[in-house]
């Protein structure tokens, strides 16, 4: 991608995130984003058709790496030699949130945070659905969508608690709390 395009998108994302920390998404206008990013209207529309498209792009950019393959070695964590388990995947997610804690803290606590939590939950449900750990479809009358909603909601509440306590608990410990409370000790 061209450097100018990267810089422009970064300016738009930064302006949008700043505005989100000040007001609800519904009250942010394209004009405010343009003014804050110091770009022209045609430049904005060359990258995004609507404000909603910008929101989707920001969510995608925010969470694409968080939910990326956890089998690669990274600066703060390395699960490359570990088994592909839900435990490792969730711990990987927590490390990414911790590594960019300032940005995620701002996004998760802004007035429109439910938009981001909703996107996070959707990604989380997709991730969890790939792991059955001790749960066999058809062997219980618990609907799959209920299982995913329950586990996803419980993990999100754990992440909210973690941010409220300034991420003092290690990612591994938080995942062990989650596993113990959801009865999923073999994550």
Domain that holds residue 38: 3-58
Same domain, 33 and 91: no
Distance in angstroms (rounded) separating the CA atoms of residues 14 and 21: 11
Same domain, 91 and 34: no
| Both tokens assigned to 14 | 């930064």
Same domain, 122 and 42: no
User: What per-residue confidence (pLDDT) applies to 66?
Assistant: 82
Q: Within 13 Å, how many C-alpha atoms sit on residue 60's CB side?
A: 6
Same domain, 92 and 34: no
Q: Which residues contact 84 (CB under 8 A, 6 or more apart)?
A: 70, 71
CATH number of the domain encompassing residue 50 = 1.10.10.60
What's the predicted TM-score (pTM) here?
Answer: 0.81
H helices within 74-143, ranges in order?
Answer: 86-99, 101-109, 113-129
User: What per-residue confidence (pLDDT) applies to 64?
Assistant: 83
Query: Quick check: helix, strand or coil at residue 101?
Result: helix
- pLDDT below 70 — which residues of the chain? 1, 69-73, 78-81, 132-139, 185-187
In a domain, 76, yes or no: no
Distance in angstroms (rounded) separating the CA atoms of residues 31 and 36: 9
| Both tokens assigned to 116 | 């981001």
User: What per-residue confidence (pLDDT) applies to 72?
Assistant: 67
Closest CA to 30 of 14, 17, 43, 41: 41
Closest CA to 86 of 121, 146, 133, 119: 133
In a domain, 68, yes or no: no
User: What per-residue confidence (pLDDT) applies to 185?
Assistant: 64
Distance in angstroms (rounded) separating the CA atoms of residues 34 and 42: 10
Same domain, 90 and 158: yes
In a domain, 78, yes or no: no
User: What per-residue confidence (pLDDT) applies to 84?
Assistant: 79
| Both tokens assigned to 97 | 């949130």
Same domain, 49 and 108: no
Structural domain total, the chain: 2
In a domain, 137, yes or no: yes
Give the model confidence (pLDDT) of 69-82 as tens digits: 666 667 777 666 67
């Amino acid at each position: 991608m061209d450097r100018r395009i990267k810089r422009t998108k970064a300016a738009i994302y930064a302006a949008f995130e700043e505005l989100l920390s000040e007001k609800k998404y519904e009250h942010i206008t394209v004009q405010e984003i343009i003014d804050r990013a110091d770009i022209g209207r045609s430049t904005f529309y060359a990258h995004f058709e609507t404000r909603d498209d910008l929101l989707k792009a920001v969510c995608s950019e925010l969470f694409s790496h968080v939910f990326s393959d956890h089998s690669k070695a990274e600066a703060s964590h390395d699960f490359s030699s570990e088994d592909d388990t839900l435990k490792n995947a969730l711990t990987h997610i927590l490390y990414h949130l911790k590594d960019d804690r300032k940005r995620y803290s701002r996004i998760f606590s802004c007035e429109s945070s439910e938009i981001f939590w909703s996107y996070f939950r959707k990604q989380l449900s997709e991730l969890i659905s790939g792991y059955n750990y001790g749960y066999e479809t058809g062997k219980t009358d618990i609907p799959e969508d209920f299982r995913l909603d329950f586990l996803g909601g419980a993990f999100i509440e754990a992440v909210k608690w973690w941010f409220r306590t300034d991420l003092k608990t290690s990612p591994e410990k938080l995942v062990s709390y989650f596993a113990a409370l959801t009865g999923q000790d073999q994550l």
